[in-house]
Amino acid sequence: MAYSTIDQVRSESGFTNNSNITDAMITIYLNQANGVVQSFVSSIYNITTLTGTNFTGSQADLMLQRVEDLLASGYLMIKEYGAE
């Protein structure tokens, strides 16, 4: 379950209107970012409790979404521009 969306990653990385960046490409980086977020969170918390109406829209949900946006955008920008 990704906390972020393809459109959010596109917007964060500045590729909103770039047709050369496919949704499939962004999905790969979004999945990688989600894996990192999940691994850090699950090392401290029981992830199964991070669902439902008490979690959706909460500060924790928004924070995880933001972290995932930044990671996925960073992966995408490294792919496009290189790691400098």
One DSSP character per residue, the chain reads: --SS-HHHHHHHHT-TT-TTS-HHHHHHHHHHHHHHHHHHHHTTS-GGGS-STTTTTSHHHHHHHHHHHHHHHHHHHHHHH---
Confidence at 8, pLDDT banded by 50, 70, 90: very high
Query: Alpha-carbon distance 11 to 21, whole Å?
Result: 12
Q: What is the pLDDT of residue 61?
A: 84
Checking phi first, is residue 21 left (phi over 0); if not, alpha (psi -120 to 50) or beta?
Answer: beta
Mean pLDDT value across residues 19-26: 94
